[in-house]
Amino acid sequence: MSRIYTIVSQGHSQEEPSESMRNYSCPKCGTAKTRLAPRRGVTDRLLSTLTIYPLRCQLCTHRFTTFLGKLKANPRRNYDRVSVQYPAQVRPVHDPSQRVVVEGMLSNLSLRGCRVLTSQRIPMGCQVMLEFHPAEYDDPIMVDGALVRSHSAEGIGLRFSSLLRSEERRLRRILDLRLPDHAI
């Protein structure tokens, strides 16, 4: 009995990473900051039966498929959110005078959205502009267009719809520092 155990334990390589600890790098930018993407369409569902799943790069937004070798649940989000504490101002786009300003605190952030903690109400579906001041930069980051996707007593959830390329680069730098390399 111990002889069989010895043969099995000698055959196991310590250098090979376990399946649960393997990082899947983005083929476009090379970062390991990737995560499972929601499956969409018949092709993704069929491929998932072969344990081939879509992944999404958290920095360059590239979507690609890879063989994982095991079944995975379908995730809800495309992008991970990171916890932050940045002062923020939200302005409805429909207000031409720019007098309506909702003050709040950005509590989480991703490349395509965020959550703003505020006691003031903004209706679902409202187009807004967002300005927040990360500690990493002297100047605030401006999001020209965002859509209110959720609201609760604690705050609002925004999905970014329009962002200048320069502002997106600054946002990517923040996320690159804060997002972990994912082990899928």
**Every domain of the chain and the residues it spans:** 18-78, 82-178
Residue of 29, 23, 31, 21 whose CA lies nearest to 66: 23
Residue of 171, 55, 29 whose CA lies nearest to 113: 171
| Residue 145, strand partner residues | 162
The whole-number pLDDT of residue 26 equals: 93
What Å distances lie between residue 35 and 14, 107, 116, 118, 144, CA to CA? 25, 21, 24, 29, 27
Share of the chain above pLDDT 70, in %: 84
Contact predicate 122/103, CB 8 Å: no
Mean pLDDT of 99-111: 92
The whole-number pLDDT of residue 18 equals: 40
Mean pLDDT of 111-118: 95
**Which residues, including other chains, have CB under 8 Å from residue 76's CB and lie 6 or more apart?**
38
Q: In whole angstroms, what is the distance from residue 177 CA to residue 184 CA? A: 19
The whole-number pLDDT of residue 71 equals: 82
Instruction: Indicate whether 39 pLDDT > 60.
Output: yes
The whole-number pLDDT of residue 97 equals: 62
The whole-number pLDDT of residue 79 equals: 87
Mean pLDDT of the chain: 84
Q: How far apart are the first and last CA of the chain?
A: 35
Could you tell me the pLDDT band of residue 13, with boundaries at 50, 70 and 90?
very low
Residue of 130, 146, 136 whose CA lies nearest to 172: 136
Instruction: Indicate whether 4 pLDDT > 80.
Output: no
Q: What global pTM score does this model have? A: 0.70
Q: Which fold has domain 82-178?
A: Thrombin, subunit H (2.40.10)
Mean pLDDT of 7-23: 42
Contact predicate 137/86, CB 8 Å: no
Mean pLDDT of 102-114: 95
Identity at 183, one-letter amino acid code = A
Tens digit of each residue's pLDDT (9 = 90 or more) over 146-178: 999 998 989 999 999 999 999 999 999 999 989
